[in-house]
Amino acid sequence: MTDLIEVKVPDLGGASDIEVIEVLVGPGDVIELEQTLVVMEGDKATMDLPASAAGTVVEVKVSVGDSVSEGSLIVTLTAEVGAAVEEEAVAVVAEAVVSSAPVEEKEAPVPSQPGTVHDLIEVKVPDLGGASDVEVIEVLINAGDVIELEQTLVVMEGDKATMDLPASAAGTVVDVKVAVGDSVSEGSLIVTLMTGEASAPSKSALEESSAPASEAVAKPVKAPQPTPVAAKTEISTAVSGGSMVHATPSVRRFARELGVDLSLILQGSGRKGRILKDDVSRHVKKVMTAVPVTSVKTVPGNGAIPAIPAVDFSQFGEIEEQKLSKIKRLTGVNLSRVWLNLPMVTHHDEADITEMEIFRKSLKGSAEKEGLKVTGLGFMLKAVAAALKQYPQFNSSLSPDGERLILKKYYNIGIAVDTPKGLVVPVLKDVDKKSLFELSAEMFELGVKAREGKLRPAEMQGGCMTISNLGGIGGTAFTPIVNAPEVAILGATRSQMKPVWNGSEFEPRLMMPLDMSYDHRVIDGADAARFMRTIVALLTDVRLLLV
């Protein structure tokens, strides 16, 4: 004996005439509790409608393109008598639809022992300093794992750095909500944890508790398939040329804006082969990169740039391909953009840091008591901040239209840090207000975080000027590339003892080479020379930093 169950559209928070864009079941299908039946698309989001009970589909009442509202009948199901409808599942559907967000799977209840107090904690992505769509590149935990406070759960990679997401509490992982390749933003749910006074349940217990509710009772026997009232709906819409594609209206609109024929995308990466926006973007990238050797790329304002021809290097011997890290790929794009758009000039000079080094070494004892190490970079930070105050055009950015200069009233300086995954630039804020010891401590902390890939986006934003110090490696000079939208960058290489004429004789002096590249649209050569001479004077006699 069976009951006939009607699955209807729940409360839509006042919305109506929501379009059905995908029907995932047909008559005769045996479905599980919370299995998605149809996908609807409103003004702001797509919404999955899950089954409120397990059973067998008798009839599908909607088709792709239909408009539905609260109370509209979607499907009818048969289920065995005694199989209770999960009220909690219905509540989850209503809550998700009201919030105009895709329905998320509800965490399965965790079995608890008598007298045990459990809390379910959601770990979400924290403030990313305005960054969004950060890619998940590594998931380090699974459901059932017992984790500690601050243990890394996932690793994310943004435009400039990788970031670890630590656990905000100790406990047992109930559910992992992301996978490698997913894009997340501030507030995205990563995992749910169970904490409690008693010991955490075993992984097998969690897996058993996560089983569909329909498995708790005998599965309905699939009845002989009735004659369907309507044929099983497929998401297929004709496009130009008579070919059929599997995509939502928003993706079709996105493709039209880019001039992409969806019929050329043979297989989508979405559910049941549905074409997603990422598939369209990948298709465009593939078309753009598969250009003939004789073609040229046009860069606005820079004319036509001949493409570099592709070469099969394997014909000359053994080769190995290594994929660039995302940081290096994006850094390359940014540097190419700056190189093509900025008329850069590099000014070279050198500073006599003999007295500065004597003073720096005299601070060693005091610094060690504070657990610090004072380096020459700290003095360079103070000198640059002082020079920026004296020459405000260096502490500016050019407006996108190139008609206005945006002068900054703060003094934040970036320092280029070499990491295993590429170059990153953490920014020290309010350098003019901090002591040499404070800057040393902050530089050490940011350097460690940079090399471990733990810098937050906010720690790499807001710079006024950047320093690239290669003194610890070597070299006599180089041409640093401006870190746009900044207008200048200061480079330094290894100091060395040189004979310097003092007016009567040569004497050995410790000289540090300095190289400053600048945007010639904003800064003239004479201003660059004066700015550099100011920095040289401040480093030669650090007492001037106190004036």
Distance, CA of 166 to chain centre? 16
The CA distance from 170 to 188, in Å, is 20
Phi, psi for 434 (deg, rounded to 5):
-110, 150
Q: What is the gyration radius of the CA atoms in the chain, in angstroms?
A: 31
Locate the DSSP E strands across 321-451.
Answer: 344-352, 396-398, 405-407, 413-415, 417-419, 422-424, 427-428
Catalytic positions: 520
Rounded to 10 degrees, the C-alpha dihedral 334/336/341/347 comes to: 100
Number of neighbours of residue 320 by Cβ within 10 angstroms? 4
449: which residues sit within 8 A by CB, 6+ positions away?
426, 455, 459
Beta strand 488-492 with 465-469: parallel, antiparallel or unpaired? parallel
Of 70, 93, 161, 126, the C-alpha closest to 449 is 161
The length of the chain is 547
CB of 220 closer than 8 Å to CB of 30 = yes
Of 168, 18, 22, the C-alpha closest to 100 is 18
Q: What is the DSSP string of 8-48?
A: E----TT---EEEEEE---TT-EE-TT-EEEEEE-SS-EEE
Q: Which helix (H) or strand (E) holds 86?
A: none
126: which residues sit within 8 A by CB, 6+ positions away?
165, 186
> How is residue 472 written in tokens?
């610890």
CB of 443 closer than 8 Å to CB of 428 = yes
CB of 232 closer than 8 Å to CB of 62 = no
The CA distance from 419 to 161, in Å, is 10
Query: In a 3-state reduction of DSSP, which class is residue 295?
Result: coil
Amino acid at 326: K
The CA distance from 23 to 36, in Å, is 9
Number of neighbours of residue 211 by Cβ within 10 angstroms? 11
Of 259, 229, 227, 252, the C-alpha closest to 65 is 252
Preceding peptide of 485 cis, ω within 30°:
yes
